[in-house]
Structure 1
Amino acid sequence: MAEDPIKSVLHYAQALKAAQAGHRIAFATAVDWVARLKSAHNAGRLPAERAKLRRMGLLVVDEVGYIPFEQDAANLFFQLVSSRYEHASLILTSNLPFARWGDVFGDQVVAAAMIDRIVHHADVLTLKGSSYRLKDTGIDTLPSARADNTAQ
């Protein structure tokens, strides 16, 4: 999990390193990946699309959690993560802690299963700091994306 601007630099650097090592890479936002999978599903070619993506050495999924997913979209995203688990690399970026992913995916069980697959064999980076985009704007903070600890 990372925040701007380091987030972008880190995933681009890792993708470049993978490409230089001869791996095929693909980059898109979480919403774009779901749209691609939904289109494949609607065309009856979801298994073929998942197989095609599995052949990629690295998928970069940016902006996980910026927009909540409906149940069908959450299931497609879970299938993407699950199909990569222990087969190929995945870089995810999010402005949300894992504790909030149940809200994004509309299902705590699906979110927990997805997180389990993501963090197993992973290096999880948590970066803190202000948004680079706020520099020189006079705005010090934005609404927090941190988990509400009062609900425990």
Structure 2
Amino acid sequence: MAWPKKIDREAVESALRLDFLERARNVVIVAPQGLGKTMIAQNIAHQAVLKGHSALFVTASQLLLDLGAQDTSRALDRRLRHYTSRTSLLVIDEMGYLAYDARNADLLFQVVARRYEHRSLVMTTNLAFSDWPTIFPNAACATALIDRVIHHADVLAIEGESYRRREAEEAATTRKAKSKR
């Protein structure tokens, strides 16, 4: 994996020490694809488990598909409790890779609002916060959702090139060089 061009090492180390967890703060990891957001989030969750906390790692699409599949308000409330009160740390990966309708925005808002100031959240995204309304283009709660996520959050911004793209380009160059022999 390539080293990012810009990353706040102290902020990453602080997140891995779980400094945020005892104060019910959030960590939001913002970076383009291929810079290790998921790996950092997984490592934070792993550290939490090693220190005796419960942690749940889920992609945004998995979370919203699960909540959206509940066919009664009672079933939905039970699943919301699964994501909001049963784990010390909830990690939501890949926020921003897909756009969601207003119902999904409302479901995510419920998760975030129920955890707000009570339990920590780690979220990864490839989008700047100013672009988050594009994830939920028709949702009235988008601004409130963003506000609650970032209000008590440590934001880890990572800059650089995708290691996947660079590896693919290097492989293509190698194949091209071999075919010319």
TM (normalized to structure 2)?
0.70
Show the counterpart of 2:77.
Answer: 47
Mapping 1:87-98, distance limit 5 Å: 87-98=118-129
Describe the superposition over 1:69-120 as per-residue Cα deviations: whole angstroms up to 9, x where unpaired: 0111111111111111111111111111111111111147422111111112
Q: Quick one: distance in 1 between partners of 2:113 and 2:150?
A: 12
CA contact (8 A) 1:25 1:58 kept: yes
1:103 counterpart residue number:
134
CA distance in 2, matches of 1:104, 1:136: 29
Q: Distance in 2 between matches of 1:46 and 1:65?
A: 23
Q: Which amino acid aligns with 1:2?
A: A
One-letter code aligned to 2:31: A
Q: 1:76 is paired with a residue of what secondary structure?
A: helix
Cα shift at 1:2:
2.9
Please report how far the alpha carbon of residue 52 of structure 1 lies from its aligned counterpart in structure 2 after TM superposition. 2.4
Q: Could you say what secondary structure the match of 1:124 adopts? A: strand
Decide whether the 8 Å contact of 2:101 with 2:138 is kept in 1.
no
Normalising by structure 1, what TM-score?
0.83
Report the residue type matching 1:39 in the other structure: A
Matches of 2:168 and 2:81, distance apart in 1:
45
The amino acid across from 1:11 in the alignment is: A
The 1:126/1:108 distance shift into structure 2, 3 A limit, reads farther
Q: Secondary structure at the match of 1:10?
A: helix
1:1-152 matches, within 5 Å, as: 1-3=30-32, 4-40=34-70, 42-44=71-73, 45-53=75-83, 54-107=85-138, 109-138=140-169
Query: How many residue pairs were aligned?
Result: 138
Determine which structure has greater relative contact order: mean sequence separation of CA pairs < 8 Å that are 6+ residues apart, divided by chain length: 2
CA deviations 1:11-53 (Å, max 9, x no partner) are 111111111111111111101100111123x143112222222
Fraction of identical pairs, as percent: 37
SS in 1 for 2:42: helix
Larger radius of gyration: 2
Q: Mind listing any 5+ residue stretches in structure 2 that lack a counterpart?
A: 1-29, 171-181
Please, what is the CA RMSD of the aligned residues?
Answer: 1.7
